[in-house]
Amino acid sequence: MRGLGNLGGSHVFILKKLLHDPAMAVAGVLSKLTPDRIPVTFAGPDASLELCESIAHMRCEKVLIVTDATLVEIGLIDRITKALDAGGLGWSIYSGVEPDPTFSHVEAGFAQLEQEGCKAVLAVGGGSPMDASKLIAAMATNGGQLRKLEGMLKVRQAPMPLFAIPTTAGTGSEVTLAAVVADPETHTKKFFLDPRMIPTMAALDPNLMVGLPAPITAATGMDALTHAVESFLSGWSTRTTESHAKVSIRLIFDHLHAACSDGGNVEVRKAMALASYYAGLAFTRTSLGYVHAIAHALGAYYRTPHGLANAIALPHVLEFSKKPAERRLARLAELIGCDGASDEEKAQRFIDAVRGLMAKIDIAPKHDALVEADIAPLAGQALREAHLNYPVPRYMSQPQCEALLRQMIA
């Protein structure tokens, strides 16, 4: 019998898929059996102040605010600290989180939490502060060693009380069980997944989003759209997750362009915050797909903003998945008002609508930094992530993924 090393590439792909499918089926059953856990959520103008009042009622004594330096510099954090002061709570600000947080960013935040004697964690910002906060809160009750928490269901003890105030409408991290940390040495992303890391409370406050620049609004909005679409196409989808995903997709197609062109419109900002929230509810149950696998690889290699990477990859992956996902894509086309004589035509109309939305919000369809020399390792990294985690409509081989990436070269 030949060893794996002597098998042709196509045979290795088939063998991996045969080993992969039963494991993915078991994971899907476990996903559906896991109890729902949704944070207590405040939504609307000044919802963040209501959240701070509720934290005070819990008598957490002192809170570590995890955020980034920009939000501190523009004064956005001031309204949060004033609300905590009004509730008689102490606080300390850790603003060392950067895009694609690394292990050192999270560990520095945990060190500050211990030094300051904080009893709760409040995330304020986009996906990076959210991810760092989840891990800091988990470290506080699980021995303080971050790397031991990597993987699935490694958070043995309930984390320290964790609260979330998103300032972008994209990641949905305020309702998800996942956190991602970048390893700059290996150009990989490390994943931490546990329902215990879902925040206790969250606030969707559009007043905190009105100053968000149009390019960030566009990229984060496409991140939310990707969450919702990949969830809807997932093999683990349910009626509930499909309902959440459809709400998100409709809100995004109705409001993302307006959010980019009229960022001061509070009602539009609220709609986008809800779109991100519902997409988060959907994908935390169903997992994601190749778009995210590719985006994570691009982020690790080039530090491409996550939402932007998702946007660039999304139409290409939808084209690849179009045939097996034809009926589901047709349903999404109907959802956003795209007509067609057949499911095939409707599916294509939805993909074209995604491209049209990208054009409206000024997201280029190509990746400026992507080069041929990086194609093979990028594809390999994306496939390793996807084949371990994502119940997608159609699986890719290494050559197929490389060909898809080449379509993204500027």
Segment holding 334, helix H or strand E = helix 326-335
Q: Would you give per-residue pLDDT tens digits along the chain (410 residues)?
A: 223 333 344 444 444 444 455 555 545 555 555 557 899 999 999 999 999 999 999 989 999 999 999 999 999 999 999 999 999 999 999 999 998 899 999 999 999 999 999 999 999 999 999 999 999 999 999 999 999 999 989 999 999 999 999 999 999 999 999 999 988 777 788 999 999 999 999 999 999 999 899 999 999 999 999 999 999 999 999 999 999 999 999 999 999 999 999 999 999 999 999 999 999 999 999 999 999 999 999 998 998 999 999 999 999 999 999 999 999 999 999 999 999 999 999 999 999 999 999 999 999 999 999 999 999 999 999 999 999 889 999 999 999 999 999 999 99
* Model pLDDT, residue 18: 44
Give me the DSSP letters along 213-227.
Answer: -HHHHHHHHHHHHHH
* Model pLDDT, residue 10: 41
Q: What is the CATH number of domain 40-208?
A: 3.40.50.1970
Q: Is 368 helix (H, G, I), strand (E, B) or coil?
A: coil
Q: What tokens does 319 get?
A: 């084209």
Q: What is the CATH number of domain 213-406?
A: 1.20.1090.10
The Cα 86–Cα 56 span in angstroms is 9
Residue 236 is given by DSSP the state: T
Of residues 368, 389, 222, the one with CA closest to residue 293 = 389
Q: Find out whether 80 and 65 touch, Cβ atoms under 8 Å.
A: yes
Which regions of the chain carry the CATH code 1.20.1090.10?
213-406
Residue 239 contacts by C-beta under 8 Å, 6 or more apart in sequence? none
Of residues 212, 221, 312, the one with CA closest to residue 271 = 221
Residue 68 is given by DSSP the state: B
Which regions of the chain carry the CATH code 3.40.50.1970?
40-208
* Model pLDDT, residue 34: 59
pTM, rounded to two decimals: 0.89
Count, in order, helices (H) and strands (E) of the chain: 15, 9
A 10 A CB-CB count for 103 gives 17
- Amino acid, res. 178: A
The Cα 305–Cα 98 span in angstroms is 11
State phi, psi for 40 to the nearest 5 degrees: -60, 125
The Cα 28–Cα 7 span in angstroms is 30
* Model pLDDT, residue 23: 52
Q: Find out whether 126 and 169 touch, Cβ atoms under 8 Å.
A: no
Q: How far is CA 6 from CA 20, 376, 398, in A?
A: 20, 20, 17
Contacts 24+ apart (CB under 8 A), 206-209: 206/44, 206/45, 206/266, 206/267, 206/269, 206/270, 206/273, 207/45, 207/46, 207/48, 207/266, 208/48, 208/76, 208/165, 208/167, 209/167, 209/168, 209/169, 209/269, 209/272, 209/273
